[in-house]
Structure 1
Amino acid sequence: MEQLDLLRNLEEHHNSLKVYQKELFNLKNDSMVNKTEEKILDTEEKLSRLKFSQEKIKDRLKQSNTRLKDYNFKIEEIENNLYKGQITDLKQLEYLNDEKDKLKEIISDTETEIIEFMDEVENIDEELLTIESFLEDIKDKNNKLKSKYRDLEEDLKDKIKSEEDEIIALESKIDVNLLNKYNMIRKNKRTGIAEVKDTICSGCNMLIPTVLIDRLNNRKELIYCECCGRILCKP
């Protein structure tokens, strides 16, 4: 029966359409891209925090260098006063020597501080290079992944459009009343056609009476399962 063959063909295209639509849904909701995007954001935030920390250390390094210059200048002034011989007062000389010793201690501590700051800056520079390299790599992978997903999405959209066109073309060839009945069965049962295998309806797994099997074999009319209501066909 031509109408039954058209319905079977229609059912196949509906099933294919459902598969492609599900694949497209899963693709759009795939967590791989989302996880990669989150990792990129986390890495960028870490990079930003590290750069901010580095700038603060550089500011402190600059301040320490400025202080070191001031201390060295003060020592030069004290040494000039000590060695020019213009100061003869012993207490003042003793005071200047004490000040010079204190400044030397401060200078030593400041130089140590500067070295530590420079080490911190160097360590952060190395860490920044590592993170930036990682960020560049993960962005590249993410772009390739998104490109791949876009290609897959376009392919699925083309397949969906093709199936929808086939369905429209087939529906135009099927009797309107029969098509409405078939669509109603599909709406309630998810499938409108069921094959009969070894006298069993593949839709509901119930036994089909012999009289219906004989009528189905004659292919003169459409036969419906008495249990689930699906349109029956032979494998």
Structure 2
Amino acid sequence: MSREELYQLQKLDTRKERLKRTAQNDLEVQEILELTEQLEQLKVEFETREEEIMQLNKEIKEKEFNNARLTRKQEEYKDKLYGETTYSPKELEDFQAKLMKTEENKEELEEEILELMLLLEQKDEELGDLKEKISSKEDKIEKLKEKLMNKEESIKMKLNKIKEKKIGLKSRMEEELLKKYNRLYTKKNARAVVKLEDNYCMGCRMTLPRNLIKKVKQSIEVVFCENCGRILYWEKEEE
């Protein structure tokens, strides 16, 4: 029966559109996008920490070089003060002042080196935390992609089955009737075929004339609603 086939065709079309929307609006897709954005931010932070660590290592190396230079000067002044070489009291006084100044500078420099090393340790820990977070995000994205791929494959299989059923239905229907159905499906917001229930058209919710209702219930041909133009379908009650 053409009406029955048209109604089944519409159900298949509706299911097809629903599956397509499910694929397009999938929660996994949105979550992957959000995680990817978070991952990119983490990678930027990671690169920033690497640059900071590189700069800290450079500063520490420079200060350690200066500290080694001060250590040599310190030993030089001590040798002049406490060595066997004889210097005048004025010269010894000058060496003592220079030694004290060198030791002060050395102490300040060593404190700076210590602070930089503590900061370096902190940055290394932050880099390790970022590395773990990046790895965790990447794992989540991969699992979501795998889940999404499986879901898309399932949807694809369902759509292929719908396509096969539609081909079977269409092969038993007149071409002109299919054209009318397709126009109505597009024009009437995917509701080309509607049920007749309690003498109402379930498309426009209007009461139908008795002669039209009788025609829908008795005729095997396609009958259109006089108000909205949709194809009317009546489902017989089981006895």
Q: What secondary structure sits across from 1:191 in the alignment?
A: coil
Residue 183 of structure 1 deviates from its aligned partner by 1.4
Q: Report deviation, 1:181.
A: 1.4
Structure 2 partner of 1:152: 151
Question: Which range moves more in the overlay, 21-30 or 139-148?
Answer: 21-30
For these two proteins, the number of residue pairs brought into alignment is 234
Range that drifts further, 167-176 or 44-53? 167-176
Matching residue's letter, 2:83: K
Asked whether the equivalents of residues 194 and 233 of structure 1 are also in contact (C-alpha less than 8 Å), the reply is yes
SS at match of 2:26: helix
Shift of 1:145: 1.1
CA contact (8 A) 1:6 1:170 kept: yes
- With 12-21 and 25-34 compared, the bigger mean Cα shift is at 25-34
Give me the whole-angstrom Cα distance separating, in 2, the residues matched to 1:40 and 1:220: 61
Task: Name the CA distance, whole Å, in 2 between partners of 1:212 and 1:161.
Answer: 38
The aligned counterpart of 1:215 is 215
Aligned residue number for residue 41 of structure 1: 40
CA distances 1:80-114 after superposition (whole Å, capped 9, x unpaired): 12222323222211111111000000010011011
2:72 is the alignment partner of 1:87: no
User: Is residue 2:185 matched to residue 1:186?
Assistant: yes
- Percent of aligned pairs with the same residue? 26
| Aligned AA (2:32) | V
1:1-235 matches, within 5 Å, as 2-27=1-26, 30-189=29-188, 190-235=190-235
CA distance in 2, matches of 1:197, 1:87: 123
**CA distance in structure 1 between the aligned counterparts of 2:87 and 2:32, rounded to whole angstroms:** 81
The TM-score with structure 2 as length reference comes to 0.93
RMSD between superposed Cα atoms in Å = 1.5
Separation (CA, whole Å) in 2 of partners of 1:75 and 1:183: 96
CA contact (8 A) 2:4 2:233 kept: no
What amino acid does structure 1 have at the position aligned with 2:119?
E
Letter in 2 for 1:7: L
Q: Deviations over 1:199-228 (max 9, x none)?
A: 111111111111111111113322110011
5+ long unaligned stretches in structure 2: none
Give deviations 1:150-200, integer Å, cap 9, x for gaps: 111121122122212222221121011111111121121122211011111
Give SS of 1:194's match.
Answer: strand
Q: Distance in 2 between matches of 1:6 and 1:25?
A: 29
Aligned mates of 1:167, 1:175 — CA distance in 2: 14
After TM superposition, give the deviation of residue 125 of structure 1 in Å: 1.5
Residues 27 and 153 in structure 1, CA contact (< 8 A), matched pair in contact too:
no
- d(CA) in 1 for partners of 2:230, 2:86: 118
Structure 1 consecutive aligned stretches of length 4 or more whose deviation exceeds 6 Å:
none
How far apart are the structure 2 equivalents of 1:87 and 1:199? 128
